[in-house]
Amino acid sequence: MAMISGGATRSTIRTLVTAAVKFPKSETKVRNFLGIITSAVTRHEKDSLVAVFGRHKLHEGQKMICCRSLGTSAAMTAEEEMSRQYFALVYDYVPDILERRGQYRAEHLALANQLVDEGKVLLGGAWGSPVDGALLIFYVHNIKEVQTFIDKDPYVQNGLVTKVDIRPYTVAVRSGLQQGP
Residues 6, 40 contacting (CB under 8 angstroms): yes
Q: Which CATH architecture has domain 85-169?
A: 2-Layer Sandwich (3.30)
Give the SS3 label for residue 130: coil
The residue extents of the domains of the chain are 5-80, 85-169
Distance CA 51, CA 56 (A): 9
At 83 the pLDDT is: 76
42, 76 in Cβ contact below 8 A? no
Over residues 89-107, the mean pLDDT reads: 97
Asked if the model's pLDDT at residue 166 lies above 90, the reply is yes
pLDDT-based confidence at 171, cuts 50/70/90?
confident
Beta bridge partners of 112: none
Residue 6 has a pLDDT of 47
pLDDT of 84 higher than 80: yes
Q: Which pLDDT value is given to residue 114?
A: 94
- Contact (Cβ atoms closer than 8 angstroms) between residue 139 and residue 116: no
